[in-house]
Amino acid sequence: MKNFYIIISEYTTKVRAISATRNRLAEELKKHGANVDIYEGYLDRDFRIPDNVDCVITVGGDGTMLRASRAGFGMDVAFLGINKGHMGYLTELSQIDDYDEVIERLMKDDFKIEERMMLSASAYRDGRRIYRDHALNDVLIGKNDCVHMMTFELYINDTFINSYRADGVVVSSPTGSTCYSMSAGGPIAEPTSKLLLVTPICPHAINTRPLVLSPLDKVKIIPRHTTQLVSCDGADGTDLESGDEIIVTKSRSSMKFIRFKETSFLDTLRDRMRYV
């Protein structure tokens, strides 16, 4: 690897320790002959990773990594996260004790690549597409008010499954199974597996259960109220109308994580759950 792009979370730009990490990373990478660019601030929906970047290093939390992954959608780029946030499920390092070792391993490609599936979401109104986005974690169809429940119909591969009254529904990837889906009562999946998880949020029925689906399945959701929205990975929501069709499938692209450590997902899960 030679071309690096460092992204600093907008919430941590004023923290002295973050500035020190950023400066040291850039300095050491350049000493080893790497090309380094730095971006500081919020990554909105239209932000894109520049071309010819080999590695994106995020300094922040899982939210920073999520926005960066969407900004690099479809690109052949690897991601390395340095956790300065809360949980840090998606980040590889909490701190760098030996910059020389980390930089040398990056420059020599001395690491493992862990691929994670992503989701593709589209919304259609009267046959016309009004929304399209991608998610590493999840696609949320939820309420844009805080009072009323929403009603929606669920179809799998165009087969009607059920009609729900709930606060919403989360369609999650395995990576996102430890996020909103888990909070809503969904199962935890090994993050490199290939699955679709469908979890109603606070359903008004005692017999409603989450669904675990094949990555080849197509999830279709039709809201029956006008106070709903769709959002990918917590990005700004797009309003929906009754009768709109939201289609969620496995994306054609995946995300590549750089892994230095041999720590298993179960070890990470155990350690992170201590702080929930």
Residues marked as catalytic = 62
Contacts with 23 (C-beta within 8 Å, 6 or more apart), sequence order: none
Separation between Cα atoms, residue 56 and residue 262, nearest integer Å: 21
Contacts with 135 (C-beta within 8 Å, 6 or more apart), sequence order: 70, 118, 119, 121, 173, 176, 232, 233
Q: From 138, 217, 216, select the one nearest 172 (Cα to Cα).
A: 138
Residue with tokens 């009004």: 130
Handedness of CA 31, 33, 37, 38 (dihedral sign): negative
Q: From 228, 217, 112, select the one nearest 164 (Cα to Cα).
A: 228
Residue with tokens 């009768």: 243
Handedness of CA 182, 187, 188, 192 (dihedral sign): negative
Residue with tokens 């992503």: 118
